[in-house]
Structure 1
Amino acid sequence: MNIIIVGCGKVGRSLVEQLSSENHDISIVDPKAYVVQSMVDMYDVFGIVGNGASYNVLTEVGVEEADLLIAVTNSDELNLLCCLIAKKAGKCATIARVSNPVYFDEINFIKEEMGISMIINPELAAASEMSRILRIPTAMEINSFAKGKVELLKFVLRKSSILNGMKMKEIGERMRGEVLVCAVERQKDVFIPSGDFVLQENDRISIVASPRSASKFFQKIGVQMNPVRNVMIVGGSKTAYYLSKKLLRIGISVKIIDKDFDRCEELSVLLPKAVIIHGNGSDQEVLLEEGLLETDAFVALTNFDEENVFLSLFVKGQTPAKLITKVKRVSYNHIIDGLDLGSLIYPEYITAQYIVQYVRAKQNSIGSNIENLYKIVDGKAEALEFHIEEHAPVIGIPLQILPLRDQILICSINRNGTVKIPTGQDMIQVGDTVIVVTTKTGLHDISDILKKE
């Protein structure tokens, strides 16, 4: 696809990195010359220095031939204007980043009236991810497929777990096909495990199951499923606002600590059911005085990665509360991952993932369509949901004799709303949705999971 990306901040850079690796023709627009030059040198893309809302700039970058324009600058209004001009000038599909809560209740109107294909809100996307995690505190990460009927959950294997030292095939026998282990992270390595693969302490394990089966699984392996009743949030950002709205709606108490008095007053009006504290959330005494030791979950949402990391490290030493840590700079993830900071949330990365998912789904595909795509295990693997259409080469063949490529696992088959963890004898049929986990990137069609003759 011919794609134009306006804005080369964290989201734009992540998009360029992911989409250029999938052989799309990428053009970028940014007002900073040094940013454009570094992106051109690093990713071999075409770049223009200028304002993405300028008709002349968009014409120069090839908007008339573009299939898609993605506007992800830090200005909502500029992003919307870029999309409007692109629609008029080139008639391409458009995606806009819009994060101001002022537009929250108007998003559908804006999208329909301006003809925008997709509007993405990084802060809202991050809040949605956090609220899913807090629903099952044991999980570090949760992704949903098949309209919520299937979930992919990641958790850390502790030394005391009955799974420690167990082979994959033994887990299958004990769980009776209700849960499938689809990926294992061990230090810097990622495995799509075979039946003889042995789990070890501190492995980060990703499983596929229905929500009900996942709950049963955690109970069987002795993991406490204590529900979150109250949450302490440090930092009164947009993300904190969106997260609080979601938590309050499901009956979870929320306390927000922020050192900006004006923001505290604003939040008090926006979130009348939340407790808003004016204070320095980085002060350990303030946290303890405000009930840190009694809280079920702690979320570090300041604007500084270092502050969030140190806050979570302190809280980790004080209480077993569920931890969620927001991190902006994805480039440091290899360092931060080793600190055991609970669930790490990268808002810009989540935003890029949603957009890449849209791009994959938009591509023409013979035999099947990608309905969902998630980058998992810190971007080292992907979980894809394919809709199986007529003439797909996987139909009617027992899975055990399908010539699958290496490092590919078929995890789930959803047939008419009934979800099944498949065995070797199961066969895929027309109309099924199938979840595939792989360490190979760039799959566009269900046929891509098969070995090439």
Structure 2
Amino acid sequence: VKIIEKNPNKARQLANLLPDTLIIHGDGTDLDLLHHEDISEMDAFVATTGNDEVNIVTTLLAQHSNVSRSVALLNKPEYLAMAAKIGMDAVVSKPSLTVSAVQRFLHQHEIASIAGLPGIEAQVIEYVVGDGCQITCGELRNLRFPQQAIVGLVIRDNQVIIPHGNTTIQPGDKVLVFAQPAAIAGLGRLFEQERGRSKLSQIFRN
């Protein structure tokens, strides 16, 4: 595995983090560099910079160099739509990767399904609170609730409660949470039951 990184500081950090990987300080759009690194002998080429245009160019360069498989990270909808038309092998988008990662996490926690909200990196999750969950240990304002999540609604005995800082969650409550992917792990700890795990009863789709 070889990684080409243009930023020298990031290249050094990657070299320290990945001692078994060859980190190359250079420009991935430099065709001479790619040929020097025998790009045509590579099994695959993946472009994951923060710039869609750079990812498109480097991926097409890889294809031109007869790399058998190339993948580009794209985020702009217009580029995703035209990728096949300009002959790109494969593309992935950050939102789709995020939802996929959350799906894998939730699957590990015995949760049936997950749906992202269109256009934003967030989910709407309904938890059924079990016995012994940390979420029941005090008022919401006193809990270490993830900053990237907010409780939007509590349903108790078929009654709807609009939560405030002094709201306490009880076993048996259904709690509707709006969350970004970074908050999922923290939410899992708050809603984890003393014995076993709390389950996600439903994902609300927009």
- Aligning the two structures, in what range does the TM-score lie when normalised by the shorter sequence? 0.5 to 0.7
Aligned to 1:67: 43
Alpha-carbon distance, 1:81 to partner: 0.4
RMSD, matched Cα: 4.2
In 2, Cα distance between the equivalents of 1:35 and 1:311?
A: 26
Aligned residues of 2:8 and 2:25 also touching (Cα < 8 A): yes
Change (3 A) 1:91 1:239: same
- Mapping of residues 115-154 of structure 1, within 5 Å: 116-126=88-98, 154=107
Aligned to 2:25: 49
- Give the total of aligned pairs: 155
Aligned to 2:61: 85
Change (3 A) 1:311 1:327: closer
Unaligned runs of 5+ in 2: 127-144, 155-162, 165-173, 193-206
64-73 vs 90-99, greater mean Cα deviation? 90-99
Aligned residues of 1:48 and 1:61 also touching (Cα < 8 A): no
Unaligned runs of 5+ in 1: 1-25, 131-140, 144-152, 155-182, 184-203, 212-227, 244-296, 300-307, 342-453
| TM-score where L is the length of structure 2 | 0.57
- Mapping of residues 155-304 of structure 1, within 5 Å: 204-205=109-110, 239-240=119-120, 297=124
Letter in 2 for 1:99: N
Partner SS for 1:96: strand
Aligned to 2:149: 312
Provide Cα deviations, 1:395-440, integer angstroms capped at 9, x if missing partner: xxxxxxxxxxxxxxxxxxxxxxxxxxxxxxxxxxxxxxxxxxxxxx
Alpha-carbon distance, 1:41 to partner: 2.3
In 1, Cα distance between the equivalents of 2:78 and 2:53?
A: 12
Change (3 A) 1:118 1:338: same
Aligned residues of 2:151 and 2:178 also touching (Cα < 8 A): no
Letter in 2 for 1:98: L
Partner SS for 1:64: helix
Alignment of 1:326 with 2:180, yes or no, is: yes
Letter in 2 for 1:38: Q
In 1, Cα distance between the equivalents of 2:153 and 2:76?
A: 32
In 1, Cα distance between the equivalents of 2:55 and 2:125?
A: 33
Provide Cα deviations, 1:185-226, integer angstroms capped at 9, x if missing partner: xxxxxxxxxxxxxxxxxxx4367xxx9xxxxxxxxxxxxxxx
Alpha-carbon distance, 1:122 to partner: 1.4
> How high is the sequence identity, in percent, across the aligned residues?
13
Which structure would you say has the larger RCO, counting Cα contacts within 8 Å and 6 or more residues apart?
2
| TM-score where L is the length of structure 1 | 0.29
Provide Cα deviations, 1:337-366, integer angstroms capped at 9, x if missing partner: 42449xxxxxxxxxxxxxxxxxxxxxxxxx
Letter in 2 for 1:323: V
Provide Cα deviations, 1:147-186, integer angstroms capped at 9, x if missing partner: xxxxxx74xxxxxxxxxxxxxxxxxxxxxxxxxxxx6xxx
Which of the numbers 1, 5, 10 marks the counterpart of 1:35?
Answer: 10
